[in-house]
Structure 1
């Protein structure tokens, strides 16, 4: 028994090395036991890997899983509280590559792993990278479950719900989820056609007139943005608004939809339900999906 414990301890103390999305090689003397995340999807991924207990700090927007509600908040990804992060003595900080905090934290001797999950392939890569960092075996199994859940949502969608031209508004910029984004890829698997082509990038800012000209069949939007849609010049003419083919998602549902992580299967089910209800003969009502 003692030999087994010593063997496990020795294995646990082995150095770990990962290469993040900046191309930076991050080396740690052992798998990190104290982790701070500055992106909600990264906290969700750590927990999906069964390692919630290692999180000592998360960003202010992290809401899931509920077991994290008492974990200290350290600001946002773009405006983290560096002093608070340092005080938590993390072994590593996980963040988006777009965060400006990486250089400051690295200068303070804190290891940083920066990633950018924008597509399904990115989400898979980030999951495997964190699995390697945390020394969690078979992280690929979790990805297979996510991918299968998206596929199941697509398979359950009735034929009449396929082929709709969709506008998915990420925020009131208006910024949209294009074909190249993880949201756009999920829509494509559901048989929807995105009005924002891949050439415009994953999450482009649109001229509101672009949407008027595109005249989508279905609009998907968060509850915080829905009321202002009809106030935009020309938008009252959109067929989706006139015919009630508008899906307004609650804040809780929105968090599921816009976070590129382990809940993408649930996001696919929410989008599929919207498409089914707004399809010809569906229960379109211009309200919640």
Structure 2
């Protein structure tokens, strides 16, 4: 029996084609399960990203993919390069037409965002991510690294954060080691032990009077704070510290009597309140305040 043999020239062409296919593989799909529990499949690593959350924009830049951002929400402020990008509203009030006009291949937002379904119905992939703890910040950066086709790119920035947190902890004045602290956010909502802010305070050796069982950010009874009588009061703004002094019984607390309080300048508030790659900078802000207060201790 005679077997069919391809002409030599055809056989060579087939071998060349196979070699080229091996040398230049098609861009692999990217599959990620987001914080909605939904599998998000991208035909290729994301190259045109719109972010509707400042902390996610910061995370994209932290992993070295700032050039992939083509649009951000109106609160995005870091790094400086994002200020020049088109603004497309906010996570609560997104400008859908503006997002579509940017032709993104991925939109980043938080879970439960009302615009997610609308964008997906238009054929725009959506990745919903949310960071509530330090571990979440690390996970989000690692997830975004996969989304942009750079697996592992989130490791270096996280190692930097960890190193800088340890350095900040070593700089806490001894007099404040183990001090009991109450950190208020936007009026009577406290950053408890379970919050990313609470974790930063713990890394600095401070004791949060609001237990993890109360949740990350809890509405706290003012009488609870008076009874706890913390050594240190922190607030996200000076105006909030002033308001504290007028609450019934609060003027008796040792932190207020001794002016052992910290508030953060408006231009640094984003650092304190965003669960992103600047956690170490937030720690530095706390340590700087403790250092200032130490000069007033007897």
Structure 1 consecutive aligned stretches of length 4 or more whose deviation exceeds 4 Å: 9-12
Query: For 1:93-104, what aligned pairs fall within 5 Å after superposition?
Result: 93-104=107-118
Query: For 1:178-197, what aligned pairs fall within 5 Å after superposition?
Result: 178-197=192-211
**Matches of 1:112 and 1:255 in 2, distance apart?**
25
Q: Tell me the SS of whatever aligns to 1:33.
A: coil
**Matches of 1:12 and 1:125 in 2, distance apart?**
28
2:176 — aligned with what? 161
Q: CA deviation at 1:42?
A: 0.5
Q: CA deviation at 1:137?
A: 4.2
Structure 1: gaps (5+ residues): 1-5
Query: For 1:100-179, what aligned pairs fall within 5 Å after superposition?
Result: 100-138=114-152, 139-172=154-187, 174-179=188-193
Confirm whether residue 239 of structure 1 aligns to residue 254 of structure 2.
yes
**Matches of 1:241 and 1:11 in 2, distance apart?**
65
**Matches of 2:108 and 2:135 in 1, distance apart?**
19
Structure 2: gaps (5+ residues): 1-19
Q: CA deviation at 1:148?
A: 1.1
Maintained 8 Å contact 2:173/2:290: no
1:274 — aligned with what? 289
Aligned residues: 276
Confirm whether residue 40 of structure 1 aligns to residue 54 of structure 2.
yes
Q: Tell me the SS of whatever aligns to 2:182.
A: strand
**Matches of 1:197 and 1:257 in 2, distance apart?**
20
2:263 — aligned with what? 248
Q: CA deviation at 1:10?
A: 4.6
Q: CA deviation at 1:219?
A: 1.3
Confirm whether residue 228 of structure 1 aligns to residue 215 of structure 2.
no
Larger C-alpha radius of gyration, 1 or 2?
A: 2
1:27 — aligned with what? 41
1:88 — aligned with what? 102
Maintained 8 Å contact 1:36/1:58: yes
Q: CA deviation at 1:124?
A: 0.7
Q: What CA deviation, in whole Å up to 9, does each residue of 1:237-260 have, x standing for no partner? A: 222122111111011211111111
Q: What CA deviation, in whole Å up to 9, does each residue of 1:10-33 have, x standing for no partner? A: 568321111111111111111111
Maintained 8 Å contact 1:12/1:30: no
Q: 1:33 to 1:228 in 2, by over 3 A?
A: same
Q: 1:12 to 1:271 in 2, by over 3 A?
A: farther
Q: Tell me the SS of whatever aligns to 2:230.
A: coil
Confirm whether residue 283 of structure 1 aligns to residue 295 of structure 2.
yes
Q: TM-score of the superposition, structure 1-length normalised? A: 0.89
1:3 — aligned with what? none
